[in-house]
Amino acid sequence: MPSFTFVAAGDAIITKRCSQKTDPAFLAMVDLIRQADAAFVNLEVVTPRPPLIPSAEHGGANLGAQEYVLDELRWMGFNLYGVANNHSNDYTFHGLIDTMDALRERGMVFAGGGMNLGEARSPAYLDTADARVAVLAAASSFVVGAPAGPSREDMPGRPGISPLRVDYEYALDPLRWAALAEIDEALGTAQVSRERRASARMPLPEGVLVFQGLQVLKGEAPAIREKVNYRDLDDICRWISDAKRQAEFVVMSLHAHQGKGRGGNTPALADFLPEVARRCIDAGADVLVGHGPHMLRACEVYKGKPIFYSLGDFYYVSSGIQRYPAEIYRNLGLPDTATPADVQDINTRDKDGNPRGFAADARFWQSVIPVCRFEDWRLVSLDFHPIELNYRARHRSQLGEPRLADVEAGTDILRQLDQLSEPFGLKIAVERAGDRVVGKASW
């Protein structure tokens, strides 16, 4: 079997054309992607067609783009796409259907969405010169109404994405638990809950109360526990196993914002992520590509298979969004006469004009492109090419455009990734490569 090269990138929030660019560092990055047999990116925008129907529930903002952005990603060399993420429903399921239609019309291979749950779970296939590649995608971070629904004999399913549901269980020590139970009684919410559960014949066990929708257990100490929906995970793994029997190489994509202790958009992993990632590898995935928190997280090689817990952002140009729903303006306290530039102003600057949110943290604008080389389907090398997303752009129209990082920035990015990955047994050595640096992984 000839050698096989796989390349991956994180979230692509792309709203403008890029194929006209002449920046050498950008074009060198594009060449890197194009040299791979298979190259994956998470599509974190939708391309809705008129009439536009913005969703009341969105992933932070309604991220809509023109269909030509799909052509731009294909021009860059990507041939595998994931559509399961927290922005897939920004224009309701109609926007997701429009996006999937546009991808199909272009012959672009994508996974993670469908007209029902079975389609959303199913793999899609790419035929390369020497191998067949399968891609699957799921999300543990999504808005209400985004998951696809299963079909029945007497009822069709619901369009949406492939979900990996994660619930949370809360515990309090006896003293705090008793105080919360007293508050519940004083507000009258405990009595309402008892009456509802009595009519539904669902009494609560001893030592458990439900307060404002949160299930709180009486325990020894305060704690938050993640509860993965194993029905979802088993279903995802079933389809991974199916894909492995149909293709020589299987890519699994997982969009997960969740961090430690219900935190999000941080380098710290949620406790459930290593278990889920390794289950996917055990089921037959040859690589797991994580994304969601908009910054890098740890990487590991498990049973000879790479796991990227988050590749952060690959592209993050939101300034190309030409329309926002009225609720976005009102939620930001903007008048009806406000424009998209006003939304950008308030999202990126505080009242004194200083950077705020993502604009204030360089980590949101740093990432890597891993290049995985296989011989006889055995991972023989793993190189990380650092990229930076023009954090110091002279104008925000250029903010978020990726390029290979220079030596100083690239070294810093690779050292951060090395520190994050060390607990997982992965070491990354920084090597000079001309006017750039590359991270050489060992495990």
90 domain-assigned: yes
pLDDT of residue 239: 98
pLDDT of residue 1: 59
Is the same domain home to 270 and 222?
no
Is the same domain home to 220 and 266?
no
Is the same domain home to 367 and 435?
yes
Domain ends where: 182, 201, 226? 226
50 domain-assigned: yes
Is the same domain home to 127 and 172?
no
Q: How far apart are CA 68 and CA 104, in angstroms?
A: 14
pTM comes to 0.95
Domain ends where: 210, 226, 242? 226
Domain that holds residue 15: 4-152+229-442
CATH number at residue 352: 3.60.21.10
Is the same domain home to 276 and 288?
yes
User: What is the longest distance spanned by two Cα atoms in the chain?
Assistant: 72
Which of 2, 10, 6, 4 has the alpha carbon at shortest distance from 366? Answer: 10
One-letter amino acid of 295:
M
Is the same domain home to 281 and 328?
yes
pLDDT of residue 205: 85
35 domain-assigned: yes
Q: Where are the alpha helices (DSSP H) in 188-333?
A: 189-199, 230-246, 272-283, 326-331
- The pair of three-digit structure tokens given for residue 135, joined into one six-digit string: 């891609």
- The DSSP annotation for 300-326 comes to EEETTEEEES-B-EEEE--TT-----H
Is the same domain home to 142 and 192?
no
pLDDT of residue 272: 96
Helix axes 272-283, 230-246, angle to 10 degrees: 30
Q: Where are the alpha helices (DSSP H) in 125-171?
A: none
- The pair of three-digit structure tokens given for residue 23, joined into one six-digit string: 């920046």
pLDDT of residue 320: 86
Is the same domain home to 207 and 336?
no
Number of domains in the chain: 2
160 domain-assigned: no
One-letter amino acid of 255:
H
Is the same domain home to 354 and 308?
yes
Name the DSSP letter for residue 264.
B
pLDDT of residue 204: 82
Q: How far apart are CA 223 and CA 177, in angstroms?
A: 12
Is the same domain home to 175 and 45?
no
Is the same domain home to 11 and 70?
yes
162 domain-assigned: no
Is the same domain home to 98 and 210?
no
161 domain-assigned: no
185 domain-assigned: yes
- The pair of three-digit structure tokens given for residue 167, joined into one six-digit string: 């619930």
Q: Report in angstroms the alpha-carbon separations of 198 from 194, 204, 210, 283.
A: 6, 9, 14, 42
158 domain-assigned: no
Helix axes 189-199, 174-187, angle to 10 degrees: 90
Cβ-count burial 364-386 (b if 16+ within 10 Å, e if not): bbbbbbbbbbbeeeebeebbbbb
Q: How far apart are CA 187 and CA 184, in angstroms?
A: 5
Mean pLDDT per 10-residue section of the chain, whose length is 443 residues: 91 96 97 98 97 91 96 98 97 97 98 98 96 98 96 96 95 95 93 85 86 90 93 98 98 96 88 97 98 97 98 93 92 93 88 83 95 97 97 86 97 98 98 95 98
CB-based contact 243:137 (threshold 8 Å): no
Domain ends where: 207, 226, 245? 226
Residue 440: exposure state from Cβ atoms within 10 A (0-12, 13-18, ≥19): middle
